[in-house]
Amino acid sequence: MKFSTILALYASAKILPAMAWPGMKNIMAELEHKLAARQDEVGDGDGTDVEDSDELIGDLVTVGAVTDVAQQIQGVITGSIDGFSSEAYTTTVPAKKSAACAADTCCIWSYIAADMKKKFSGSSGRCNGFARAAVRMGFHDAGAWSKTSTNGGADGSLILAGEISRAENNGLQDIVSWTTSLYSKYKTYGVGMADMIQMAATVATVVCPLGPRIRSYVGRIDNSAPAPDGLLPDVNADAETLIQLFADKTIKTHGLTALIGAHSTSQQRFVNTSRAFDPQDSTPGIWDVNFYNQTLQPASAIPKRVFKFNSDVVLSQHPVVATEWNKFVTDQSDWNEDFSREYVRLSLLGVNNINNLIECTKVLPAAKTTYTPPDKAIILKWLAGQFPKLGKFLDSADKLNSTLLKSLGYTP
């Protein structure tokens, strides 16, 4: 039905109650639903559309937002405050072992974030396999939670309870062992594993060129009890199952559509091992919207090496997801805005002390808002099917050059 027809019917039904007939209640309900859906179509992710996540979580439900930080978080997850920020230290960060550093909760995190930044980028300026794995690790720790869970969520249990042995966490071994060593290096400063995992995800996101600077909080409570099993998505699940799985985590379809864009940076290894390191769009290591466009395209219209996940394809085609998905195709800032808001929510699932958290966004590296690959010509040939052994080297994000190609036996 055309939107103008819906509006006309709705208006006349509201204005002319005297004309009410049996069954009108149902028709009104359907019209209201269609109007809400229409609002959703023009949605801006600000928490007012039916598909925007807006549910409160953790102690925001039980206690309310008492502290300034909790009020800010409530604003972010309900859409009235941006989930990203450019706030940075305005003074020199105190020396690591100084009393001044000990007195500033965020101080030690700026040293941790600096170690992460170094680990997550390569000489090409792109983010590398450790960065991508860190984003996925952040999701797999926090996302192992649902509204009915009594534990799990962003509690560090992915590492502390050995959840790495679960099949769904395959591929996270290297980032888990590196994060464990980083935790050992800094735990005497009182930092927690749950925060370490989520900080790794937000540092990794902004290290990727064009990635947003997501608000980052510390003070979560660690838990070494395993999270409930079976709460992470399956790459072969249908769209309805995936939508319901995320809805049970308080993440509605706009949020899911934004979060899934993390695959923009990805190079899969285990969905199809014969195509290990094949990317999910033609610009792995870059936080751009190519993924949204290329997932919609037929194989003939995208580079041969781009490997689409079935879950991404079915979601992109689902009627409740498609409008938002198409919006992101041409709007990087809209996606970054929505991703940030939704990642803040994700990073706080299962956290029941939101009123005790401290914001440390100021420790994050600066965002890179433009990027030109220095090795584009080589990448284009790889995407077209040449230099098959190159995928693994692209994963390191180091600049690709003719010396490397020759060492692999290729003619540049």
List residues with catalytic annotation.
140
Task: Compose the 308-327 pattern: x for residues touching ligand HEM by CB under 6 A, - for all others.
Answer: ---x----------------
Tracing tokens 């996606």 back to the chain, one arrives at 335
Instruction: Verify binding: residue 275, ligand HEM, rule CB under 6 A.
Output: no
Instruction: Verify binding: residue 119, ligand HEM, rule CB under 6 A.
Output: no
Q: Is 155 annotated as a binding residue?
A: yes
Q: Is 263 annotated as a binding residue?
A: yes
Instruction: Verify binding: residue 267, ligand HEM, rule CB under 6 A.
Output: yes
Using the 8-state DSSP alphabet, how is residue 229 labeled?
S
Contact window for ligand HEM (CB under 6 A) among 12-20, 92-100, 102-110, 126-134: 126-134
Q: Please give the backbone phi and psi of residue 23, each rounded to the nearest 5 degrees, phi first.
A: 90, -10
Instruction: Verify binding: residue 135, ligand HEM, rule CB under 6 A.
Output: yes
Instruction: Verify binding: residue 171, ligand HEM, rule CB under 6 A.
Output: yes
Q: Is 153 annotated as a binding residue?
A: yes
Instruction: Verify binding: residue 291, ligand HEM, rule CB under 6 A.
Output: no
Using the 8-state DSSP alphabet, how is residue 214 labeled?
B
Separation of alpha carbons 402 and 404, rounded Å: 5
Contact 208, 124 (CB under 8 A): no
Q: Is 68 annotated as a binding residue?
A: no
Q: Is 202 annotated as a binding residue?
A: no
Instruction: Verify binding: residue 168, ligand HEM, rule CB under 6 A.
Output: no
Using the 8-state DSSP alphabet, how is residue 38 labeled?
H
Separation of alpha carbons 384 and 388, rounded Å: 10
Separation of alpha carbons 402 and 387, rounded Å: 11
- Indicate which single residue of 117, 119, 126, 132 sits in contact with ligand HEM (rule: CB under 6 A): 132
Instruction: Verify binding: residue 53, ligand HEM, rule CB under 6 A.
Output: no
**Single-letter code of the amino acid located at 1:** M
Instruction: Verify binding: residue 269, ligand HEM, rule CB under 6 A.
Output: yes
Instruction: Verify binding: residue 387, ligand HEM, rule CB under 6 A.
Output: no
Candidates 235, 248, 245; CA nearest to 314 is 235
Q: Please give the backbone phi and psi of residue 148, each rounded to the nearest 5 degrees, phi first.
A: -95, 0
Separation of alpha carbons 68 and 358, rounded Å: 9
**Neighbour tally for 43: CB within 10 Å:** 21
- Note the residues at the interface with ligand HEM (CB under 6 A): 129, 132-133, 135-136, 139, 171, 233-235, 242, 259-260, 262-263, 265-271, 311
Pick out the residues of the known binding site for heme b: 263
Pick out the residues of the known binding site: 141, 153, 155, 157, 263-264, 281, 283, 288
Pick out the residues of the known binding site for Ca(2+): 141, 153, 155, 157, 264, 281, 283, 288
